[in-house]
Amino acid sequence: MKNLNAEKLWSTALSHLELEMPKANFETWLKNTTALSLNQQSLIVSTVSPFAAEMLSKRLMPTISRVVDNIANQSISIDFKVSVNDKKKSKHVLPKTKNPRLEKKYFTPIKYTFDSFVVGESNELAYESAQQIANSKSIKFNPLYIYSDVGLGKTHLLHSIAHSLSAKNLNTRYITGETFTNEYIFSIKEGTIDKFREKYSNLDALLVDDIHFISGKTQTQESFFHIFNELFIEGKPIVIAGDDPVDLAEIESRILSRLKGGLVVDIQKPNYETRIAIIEKKVSMANISIDDEVIIYLAKTCKNNVRQIEMALNRILAFAQLKNCSASLVLAENVIKGFRINNKSEHPSIEDLLLYICKYFDIDISALKSSKREQKLIYARKISYYILRQDLNLTWSIIGKVIGNKNHSTVLQAFRSLKEDLNNSPLVRNDLQQIRNQFDF
């Protein structure tokens, strides 16, 4: 650690944490932090508010400590403090979400274009279908529905279509299911529902990512259905991305019927040759030099998805820059040792998952499965229901059975309650993400 100062150590840590953490967590709690001082065993970091300091110290500390310790090659205690200036500003107010009406224009990441998309056997049909939407003057299928596991390129393709259509001066909108929901709720509260509908009715093309987010939201689905129908009747291209249609149990049947009525394509995990091509493409785009043996090592090590490859590659390059050395195979192997790679395709057992949740919340599994109504137990059960449904795809009856023979309505109500909590609470989102990360969900 002799070559590290506080600023360098923390800025390097932030670059890693930005890749590892959910974007909402990083933007809300870590983005505006600053390193104040560093001695042999302690790093002091300033935060924007007492609430942020508490969140970082209690909820996010395990991840932060692991990253900092790996960079420093020793154990470092981290102390989050509110600076004097920030104390004057802070009133223990929760960070506010963005007001939709302030977001006048929606841009898509420049890097997400067709040129930067690597085509292989696993994604060829999805790619060609997206190209057809972007380049054809006549629509042969509508809508296009793309589904896959996380990190395999759905979002990349939607952004690519958006770039292509926008370049033709078409009024194109890329939006996530979450943003659509938030905009709809905001328009109801503000009495601007007509403007909300008009904005979508004037589109030339609509691209919706993570459509599964509107699951269980009856009014949001009603609004989406009418917008979809209006654009569909007018022959406007619609592209939707999300989970496998068979998993969209809480999406209304009439919407599912529309989604399945066009072309449904999936994206699988990239094979070895495609992973090689992906790494070479990213190295070329970054205009950097890296040994072929490192590319081969990464392709053999990172088998799950493109996002995993990006995280590993960025970690190697960051360490090479930090150490002022080349990105060699030795460096790559040492860096990857501290970077959890899990290529198992099998889900964890239900019992292993529940045991970890109990460990995370410091409760006994018999208490989790009991009928006790302590808030801590209720919360842990809600998290359990959510993961068992979303990530293990269990039926409501099985979920209820494995957690103390709870009935279907109890499980479903708790599941919906947690989905609402995820919209409103960074703490809940972090708890869920920390548990999911343990199993590479």
**21 and 107 inside one domain:** no
Q: What is the pLDDT of residues 71-85, one digit of tens each?
A: 888 889 999 988 655
Give per-residue pLDDT as tens, 284-318: 877 777 888 888 888 888 887 888 888 888 888 88
Asked if residue 241 lies in contact with residue 155, where contact means CB atoms within 8 angstroms, the answer is yes
| 276 and 263 belong to one structural domain | no
* CATH number of domain containing 37: 3.30.300.180
Is 386 part of any domain? yes
Q: Are residues 78 and 158 in the same domain?
A: no
**Dist CA 271 CA 439 (whole Å):** 22
Q: Is 400 found in the same domain as 312?
A: no
What is the predicted pLDDT for the residue at 26? 77
Residue at 249 is within a domain = yes
- Same domain assignment for residues 75 and 128: no
Tell me, yes or no, whether 149 and 254 share the same domain.
yes
Note whether residue 408 is domain-resident.
yes
In tens, the pLDDT along 88-144 reads: 443 333 333 333 322 333 334 447 889 889 888 889 999 999 999 998 777 889 999
Q: Which domain holds residue 13?
A: 6-89
**Domain total for the chain?**
4
> Which residue in 265, 242, 260 sits closest to 180, CA to CA?
242
Report residue 244 as tokens. 């496998």
The CATH number that applies at residue 296 is 1.10.8.60
CATH of the domain at 140: 3.40.50.300
Give a yes or no: residue 216 inside a domain.
yes
What is the Cα–Cα distance from 416 to 281, expressed in whole angstroms? Answer: 41
Mean pLDDT computed over every residue of the chain: 83
Evaluate whether residue 120 is within a structural domain.
yes
Instruction: Pull the structure tokens for residue 67.
Output: 């990253």
Average pLDDT of span 345-358 = 79
Instruction: Determine the pLDDT at residue 137.
Output: 74
Q: Are residues 215 and 122 in the same domain?
A: yes
Residues 107 and 256 occupy one common structural domain: yes
Whether residue 94 is contained in a domain is answered as no
Q: What is the per-residue pLDDT for 90?
A: 38
Same domain, 305 and 369: no
Q: Is residue 344 part of a domain?
A: no
DSSP code of 26? Answer: I
Helix axes 329-337, 306-323, angle to 10 degrees: 110
Q: How confident is the model at residue 106, as a pLDDT?
A: 37
Q: Answer yes or no: is 1 within a domain.
A: no
Do 433 and 354 reside in the same domain of the chain? yes
Measured CA to CA, the distance from residue 230 to residue 224 in angstroms comes to 10
Same domain, 30 and 70: yes
Q: Do 137 and 156 belong to one domain?
A: yes
- pLDDT bracket for residue 24 (50, 70, 90): low
